[in-house]
Chains A and B, each alone.
Chain A
Amino acid sequence: DQQVKQNSPSLSVQEGRISILNCDYTNSMFDYFLWYKKYPAEGPTFLISISSIKDKNEDGRFTVFLNKSAKHLSLHIVPSQPGDSAVYFCAAKNSGGYQKVTFGIGTKLQVIP
């Protein structure tokens, strides 16, 4: 049972436009959400996170939005750059428990020059 769902396996976006990656979760105990970025032949790297007490967190070109009532979060990248082409993993955890982080299956983003 996937507790963190990324329903779009892939996404193509033109350079300069906005990329929106979506993620849904089912576990109400999750209160901290993370996005990881992964290039081929490398391990995932932490990108941005958001606590459940917030609905938005911004870091440069990257913004994560959280809608707790819908159990939905999204990652916006604007403007998209070819170097953003990678697999993006949505992840979630319950900060009250131990550190187990549950990952989605990932969305492959291709930014077309």
Chain B
Amino acid sequence: DAGVIQSPRHEVTEMGQEVTLRCKPISGHNSLFWYRQTMMRGLELLIYFNNNVPIDDSGMPEDRFSAKMPNASFSTLKIQPSEPRDSAVYFCASSLRQAIGYTFGSGTRLTVV
């Protein structure tokens, strides 16, 4: 099992550009989460999918952020347009619905200059 796979590992982009982060969850997991880590706020839940359906997107900061899960093996988090304050590490995690804990990917470090 390759675990949760995120790409890219690092992304540097200019303010105003569109950024797309990608995630492949563990096969068979039916829950997927996008988290953002910052020094000030720690790990914040952005959005939660269950069986490819968005269940809770209350953590998505604003309309510039959008997430999709077109199938059970792929999800994207898009920021358009990006701003310097979006700079953070973005984690994707997956689990079985009743699992105790999540399995996290290695994260994407986003820098918006």
Contact = CB atoms under 8 A, between A and B. Distances in A.
B64 interface: no
Interface residues of B, number: 27
Interface stretch (B14-22, B41-49, B66-74, B78-86): B41-49
A70 interface: no
Best-buried of B44, B100, B101 by chain A (most CB within 10 Å): B101
Given A98-B50, A101-B45, A43 B97 contact: no
B95 A99 contact: yes
Interface string A66-110: 000000000000000000000001010000001111111110000
Given A34-B101, A46-B100, A103-B43, A98 B106 contact: no
Interface of A: 6, 32, 34, 36, 41-46, 49, 89, 91, 98-106
B91 A49 contact: no
Contacts of A43: 4, 91, 93, 103-107
B91 A46 contact: no
B42 A105 contact: yes
Nearest to B101: A46
A105 B40 contact: yes
Interface in B15-72: 31, 35, 39-45, 48, 50, 55-56
